[in-house]
Amino acid sequence: MNIYGMTLDELSSYFENLGEKKFKAVQVYDWLYKKRVNSFQEMSNIKKELVSKLENDFSLEKPVIITRQNGKDVHKYLLKLKDGNYIEAVLMHHDYGNSLCVSTQVGCNMGCAFCESGRLKKKRNLETAEMVSQILVIEADLHIRISHVVLMGIGEPFDNYDNVMKFINIINSGKGIDIGARHITVSTCGIVPKIREFADSQLQVNLAISLHAPNDKLRSQIMPINKAYKLKDIIDSVKYYIEKTNRRVTFEYIMLEGINDTKECALELANLLQGLTAYVNLIPYNETSHIKFKKTSNEQVMKFYDILKKNKIGVTVRREFGSSVSAACGQLRAKEEEK
């Protein structure tokens, strides 16, 4: 088993079962996440027989960097996993810190029409360790500290719910990577039962809903998940989440020229979200050679923005990080897979 997939409680239980003190887990976590060692042999305050036991029971394997594309304030990584599969991660430099967009699956089964990730179907879920080590590998490569994590890379996080929750536990732990809960965002296309389960966990982690359409007819055309969970189901689950956590929810809305960017769509969206503790993040579309959709003009984006503002909906426009780094999620992986 990969040790980066162990929560502190699980590692404490491991040592207890060996007849050791629980604090050994804290020592090991310190070596892994504070001192960032790459071998158990470097853990100098752990007795040799325990080091041998750790070497026998756990690996310290991490993904390998295959490609790093650099743009203005952005680095996009193609990472190779132990079984030869590929994933992506994107590091973005913001004025508030360094944010990493993490993948949660190899491929995606959600099949959103505008998304490059879903073009190659899901092969498997990522293990917790494979998510944690995306942070470790990129911090080491760039010699930086990652302050924010968004689960918006390849895959649907709530389709890999248990591993994602363990991942959040590990990176949020003060003894672990120590990223604040409010600096972690989970994005879902709308798996309603998992939104409710996530609400019941009452974490102070941010929730983002990939909405992208203001009515069921249009959303079902571009997002197959809407055939299983209609907009009313999603809005009801979001209300439940807000009630449970008292947290604001983000609705992500990719702007697709002539599809969902009209005045009528803006008014429908304003009506749909009226009264919710939420805001909309308008996202400029990253065009790809495989998908027909086009990017909405900046002028049209701002008209859409103004309509939401006038209707008292909180709204932002996501900063663009450029197409120089195959910006659409899944592009690098698709290129490598199709060689």
* 90 lies in the same domain as 160: yes
- Asked if 101 is an active-site residue, the reply is no
* 143 lies in the same domain as 242: yes
Catalytic residue among 88, 116, 156, 252: 88
Determine the Cα–Cα distance for residues 154 and 102; give it in Å rounded to an integer.
8
* 172 lies in the same domain as 318: yes
The string of DSSP letters for 276-321 reads -SEEEEEEE----TT----BPPHHHHHHHHHHHHHTT-EEEEPPP-
Residue in the structure block whose two tokens are 């071998």: 39
Please tell me the predicted confidence (pLDDT) of residue 290. 72
Determine the Cα–Cα distance for residues 87 and 122; give it in Å rounded to an integer.
11
Of 226, 207, 214, 70, nearest to 150 by C-alpha is 207
Residues in the chain: 339
The amino acid sitting at 217 is K
Determine the Cα–Cα distance for residues 123 and 224; give it in Å rounded to an integer.
19
* 197 lies in the same domain as 308: yes
Determine the Cα–Cα distance for residues 93 and 220; give it in Å rounded to an integer.
34
What is the 8-class DSSP label of residue 114? T
Please tell me the predicted confidence (pLDDT) of residue 320. 74
Residues 6 or more apart whose CB falls under 8 angstroms from that of 212 comprise 112, 114, 219, 222, 223, 252, 253, 254, 256, 260
* 194 lies in the same domain as 46: no
208 DSSP β-pair partners: 187, 250
Kind and range of the H or E run holding 115: none
* 146 lies in the same domain as 266: yes
Residue that terminates a domain, selected from 57, 80, 101: 57
Of 168, 175, 102, 86, nearest to 139 by C-alpha is 102
Asked if 118 and 328 touch (Cβ cutoff 8 Å), the reply is: no
- Asked if 88 is an active-site residue, the reply is yes
**Residues of the chain below pLDDT 70:** 118, 289, 321-339
* Count of domains forming the chain: 2
Phi-psi region of 7 (alpha: psi -120 to 50; beta: other; left: phi over 0): beta
Residues 6 or more apart whose CB falls under 8 angstroms from that of 114 comprise 212, 222, 254, 256, 285, 291, 293
Determine the Cα–Cα distance for residues 67 and 156; give it in Å rounded to an integer.
23
Catalytic residue among 42, 108, 329, 336: 329
Please tell me the predicted confidence (pLDDT) of residue 299. 97
* 52 lies in the same domain as 75: no
Question: pTM (2 decimals)?
Answer: 0.94
Domain of residue 46: give its range: 3-57
* 186 lies in the same domain as 106: yes
* 10 lies in the same domain as 129: no
User: Exposed (0-12), middle (13-18) or buried (19+): which is 237, by Cβ within 10 Å?
Assistant: buried
Q: Provide the CATH number for the domain around residue 33.
A: 1.10.150.530
* 198 lies in the same domain as 252: yes
Determine the Cα–Cα distance for residues 157 and 299; give it in Å rounded to an integer.
33
Roughly how many angstroms between the first and final C-alpha of the chain, as a whole number?
31
SS3 118: helix
Token pair of 266 as six digits: 């803006």
Please tell me the predicted confidence (pLDDT) of residue 339. 55
Token pair of 223 as six digits: 């997002």
* 100 lies in the same domain as 51: no
* 211 lies in the same domain as 243: yes
Q: Where are the beta strands (DSSP E) in the chain?
A: 64-71, 74-80, 86-94, 97-101, 105-106, 124-125, 148-151, 184-188, 206-210, 249-255, 278-284, 314-317
